A and B are shown apart, each in its own frame.
Chain A
Amino acid sequence: MIELWNVSKTYEAGNKALRNVSMTIEDGEFVFIIGRSGSGKSTLLKMLLKEVEPTSGKIVVNDMNLSKMPRGFIPKYRRKLGMVFQDFRLLKDRNVYENVAFAQRVIGASTRSIRESVPAMLKMVGLSSKYKFFPQQLSGGEQQRVAIARALINRPEILLADEPTGNLDGHNSMEIMKLLNEVNKLGTTVIVVTHSQEIVDRMKKRVIVMDRGTIISDEKKGGYTYEN
């Protein structure tokens, strides 16, 4: 469960990114966070990743108070999260298999475990036949699938996606959302920051709307009610 209690964030330049935000996201939920640029969506994700510290307030993830988390524990905490980016952030000099294996390798997983789990994960995202391809040989949708496979390979409890369909066409966007929905059905909490009205309206999931650092709307099975 993710809990935010009166969380505020003011950057050094004086820019107030979040103002007294409070919310709760239950385990296994699928949540869209929408809002115009600068509304605080990305800051919220960065706080959950513990990349950015709140100026005030409390964030609790799976009973762990992030403000009181020792520095040495941060890498272990991050292994419970998966992150997907708009620009995929794949390693261009490594093939599909190596990109996914990379996520396991850098946390010290054994070669045996990597050999078992990477092919299974590639099968899940539908890229088994393209495991030797390099990112530049794949379409945008396929690259995002690789990124999702990399985010999921360490079996995270929470998947954070920052505009995962921002660089994709309509068809590929829906395919990625279907994949995220399947991941959610397996029990992973999924939080998606997006600008896509079509996706939000079709998925019929919880929608949190943010504006100028505050939550202005939070609806179960909501739609894209925000005017861009």
Chain B
Amino acid sequence: MRISTFWYCLKQGVNNICRNILFSLASIATVSACIFLFCLFFSIVINVQYVIKNTESTVGITVFFDDGLDANKIKEIGNKIKARDDVKEVTFTSAEDAWAEAKQEYFGDMQDLAEGFEEDNPLANSASYTIFLNDLVDQDQVVDWLKGIEGVRKVNYSKTAAEGMNSLNKVIGVLSMLIIGVLLAVAIFLISNTISVAAAFRKNENQIMKLIGATNYMIRAPFVVEGIIIGLVGACIPLISIYFLYRSAVGYVVTKFSILSGLFQFLPVEAIFPYMAATALTLGVGIGFFVSFFTIRKHLKV
């Protein structure tokens, strides 16, 4: 393609937008609204996932052993656990550590009260492994496996936490797919409408082009350019807004509701923006390109 032809198609695409400025603006506004909501949702989903991941790292499985189990055997079990792919981290708490922790918890500054137990550790059989998983979804499977190991007396785990987070994950996934689906449908409908109006407006010109010997590609190119520009502008506006809005909102919540900072930690805008921008631009340009391409194909049987 010649550079002059490329510029011609670009210019005609811009002309199409200017000629039907109201329709084009309506399309851009709707695409913007769709992508704005998408970005908003994207931010929420990413942050919720981040919170879930953080919480997941604090929910562990604790494994206790049979009374008097040999230290070597305990170590062997520990190695088996560490060898699993779904296990992220394993920490060992010996009976002495457990007792020291318990003393600190129960007696606080009055450690003298525990002196009577000095020679006889009441938690002698409380050595344990605390296991953190890569994904809580695997918890049931790992617990079943642990229970089957010879020498394991008891396995403690929080079923509610795992199930709750998994359900929350699923709900967010389904909800986001639904909303994105509806928004996509609206955007597709509006861009298709705008391109149809532009095609009707340029009917005479397209007929002349056809008779002069312009290729299908050359006739369709300005409409595809128009679709891409609508998608691109429609994606850039919400991205810029979300960038500043997100920064302000996170800053506001962190300063005004500092109590929440213990419960939730927000991702900084710099961490999510590159992914959000790439997704939103691909979405905007992709919708613009495909919708205009197929709409104009329907209108121009050359």
A residues engaging B (CB < 8 A)?
Answer: 49, 51, 74-79, 81, 83, 89, 91, 102-103, 105-108, 110-111, 150, 154
Contacts and interface: CB of A to CB of B under 8 A. Distances in A.
Given A89-B204, A91-B205, A108 B212 contact: no
Given A108-B2, A110-B2, A110-B4, A75 B204 contact: no
A79 B213 contact: yes
Contacts of A74: 302
B218 interface: yes
Nearest to B1: A108
B208 A78 contact: no
A75 B205 contact: no
Interface string B202-246: 001101111111111011000000000000000000000000000
B106 interface: no
B208 A75 contact: no
Secondary structure dominating the interface of B: helix
Contact of A108 (B5, B205, B302): B5
Interface residues of B, number: 20
Given A89-B204, A91-B205, A107 B4 contact: no
Contacts of B1: 108
Contacts of B219: 106
Contact of B213 (A78, A89, A102): A78
B222 to A, nearest CB: 10
A103 B212 contact: yes
B4 A75 contact: no
Contacts of B218: 106-108
B208 A91 contact: yes
A78 B204 contact: no
B8 interface: yes
B2 A75 contact: no
Nearest to B209: A106
Given A105-B8, A106-B218, A108-B218, A78 B2 contact: no
